[in-house]
Every structure is written in C-alpha cells, then in structure tokens.
Amino acid sequence: MSERGSAQLVDDGSRITIRGDWTLEHISELAALCAQMRKAARSDVALDIEVESRIDTAGASVLLDLVAGDSQRVLTANDATRQLIAAVARAEGVPAPKRKRDAGFLGIVANVGNALEAMWRNTLGLVGFIGLILSSFARSALRPSQWRTTSTVAHIEQTGLNATPIVALLCFLVGAVVAFLGAVVLQDFGASVFTVELVGYSFLREFGVLLTAIMVAGRSGSAFTAQIGSMKAREEIDAIRTLGLQPVDVLVMPRVIALLVSLPILTLVGMLAGIIGGAVVCVATLDISPLMFFTRLQETTSIRHFWVGMSKAPLFAFLIAAIGCMEGFKVSGSAESVGTHTTSSVVQSIFVVILVDALAAVFFLEIDL
C-alpha cells in the first residue's frame, strides 16, 4: 500500500480512498498525485471520498479525470459532495460548441440582409419618433405655461454659441482649400478669376450648411444621446414619468427647438467664414483685391443660392436632434450601451444629413434653383 498527500491507494488497486483537502489551492499537487494513481490503478477503479474531506469544483474535476468522467464510480456519504461531483460531471459532459462554418457567399448575403433589416427598423423607429415630437409640439404650442424657456436657452448656448468658434474655423479652412484648388485648376485655362464664383456657389449652396450640420451632429447630437442615455441608465427618466411629466416634453422639445434656432445661425457663420477663407487665398495668390473679390461675388452670385443653403438648415437641425434624442432613449442602462448608442447617433445623423442633402440638390436642380 502506498500513501501520498491526501489520498491512499488500496493494495488491490480497485479502490482509492480520498481524504483531506481537494481544493484549488492544491490543484498542481493533486493533479500530479492522480497522474501517479492512474498508472497503478485498474481501469474500473472506484473512489471513496471520506465524509470529512473538503472538495471544490477544481478537485472534483481532477477526481473525475481519474475515473474517466464516470461519476457513478465516485462514492461518498456526503450529500453536498455527491451533488457537486454530479454537477461537475454534467458540466464536463457538455460538448464544446462547434464553430460555425463560414457560409461564404450565402453568409455575405445573410449579413447584407440583416443590415438592411436593421436599417429598415431604424427608419421606422425614426419616423415614429418624429411623429411623437410633432404631436408633442402641437400639444404644447398653444400652452405657453408648458414651454421650458430656461432649458431651451441653455441648450441654445451649448449647441449654438459654444459651437461658433469651431464651425467658423473649420469653414474658413475649407474655404481656403477650395479656393486654392480652384485657383490651381482654373489657372491652366486662364480663368482664375472664376475662383470667386466657385467659392461663393459652393459655400452658399452646399458646404456652409453641410459642414455645419456634420459638426453639429458630431458635437451636439452625440451630447444629446449621452445626456439622455445617462439619465436612462440612472433611471431619472422613470422618475420624470413618476412625477406625471412626459419625457418628450421635458427632454426632447427643448433640444429640438434649440437646434432649430442654433443651426441656421451657425450655417450663416459657416457661409461667411468659408467665403472669407476663399477671399484670403484669392488675395494672397491671385492678386485679387478684397474689394474686387466681394464686388464680383455680389455681381455674379444670386441671392437664391443663399436661400437654397439656408432652407436646408432647419431640416438638418430637426433630423439631428431627433436622431440624437431617440438613440438616448434606446440606452439599456450600462456605460457600454451609452457609448454604443452615442456612436450610432453620430453615424446615423451624418448619413441622414448627407442623404437628404443629395436629395435636396437633385430637387433644386430639377426646379432650376
């Protein structure tokens, strides 16, 4: 009879008595001991666990490995130990999940279908949320006592006044780049002076409102999602409902109205900054005086281009605010969910802004504006 550690091997090799602590802290010693026992014991050896022995899932796994996973060959008078051995045996008996084969072309088609289905669901959700905003606006429009002026003014400051420097700087730099590229290309045709029209048309019709909307989507739209999402995670929205208030009236309407006010003003700032950036490049590289630049801009650029650009600003503002607030209400409660929906808000807002801008460009082209 040989004895080592906390187990004893009976002479005939058909029965092993287990005693002591069979726990995780001794796992390396226990594994070595069982490896030695497996060489000396018969293939049908049984284990007898003493009542006083301490055993956890790690020790039970080692013992089951000794009897080839057959829990029926593990004997004990302790009910808790018997249940533990049986639970570990069932867990180890579950086969590992097989990795799904790559379906190749069918997998690509399935992924495309899933993406289209998700896009369709998001579109329906956005349409429903827009309807909810419009119904809330119609309900409170004739009730000045329900207007949340303080909250609206605070959001106008955050989304409009605080965003003015970055919008002006971005549009100024893009205007300078557009003017420089236009001057380089048109110079080969002896038409460098037409850079003035290029800068004017591009910023009045497209770049002014588009760049501003993209900046607002990344700055204010994401902030709306994070703010409402954090409130959802802290159950503050449930508290608002408990007070008998509508979250759309309290949280969404001030943000929508603030963006409807701020984005057209920021668009005007972006148009002016872009034109000034183009004027600086024209003055520096084309020997066009500032007076000549603005005189030619006034003579050759119709006011309708300005109104085409400004007409898109309220629509972009409404869509950005709606998407940002809607994604905030989708937050499930964790910090990861807040980050996921904030990212989704920015991506959806920019995508929708560019899509609507493309459709608007086609529409105004067809009606000759």
pTM over 0.75: no
**Mean model confidence pLDDT for the chain:** 83
**Average pLDDT estimate for 320-339:** 88
Percent of the chain whose pLDDT exceeds 70: 86
- First-to-last CA distance in the chain? 102
pLDDT in tens, 159-179: 999 999 999 999 999 999 999
* DSSP letter assigned to residue 359: H
Cβ atoms 226, 338 nearer than 8 A: yes
Domains and CATH numbers, the chain: 2-93 (3.30.750), 123-366 (no CATH)
pLDDT in tens, 40-77: 666 666 776 766 677 777 777 777 777 666 667 677 76
C-alpha closest to that of 34 among 3, 65, 57? 65
Output the six-digit token pair for 322.
């709606």
Q: Residue 83 — very low, low, confident or very high, per pLDDT cuts 50/70/90?
A: confident
Beta bridge partners of 96: none
Q: Residue 280 — very low, low, confident or very high, per pLDDT cuts 50/70/90?
A: very high
C-alpha closest to that of 175 among 196, 154, 151? 196
Of 6-20, 136-150, 318-332, the one with minimum mean pLDDT is 6-20
137 alpha-carbon distance from chain centroid: 28
Q: For residue 75, what is the enclosing H or E element?
A: strand 74-76
C-alpha closest to that of 342 among 316, 314, 323, 317? 323
Q: Residue 245 — very low, low, confident or very high, per pLDDT cuts 50/70/90?
A: confident
- Helix 303-329 crosses helix 335-366 at what angle (to 10 degrees)? 150
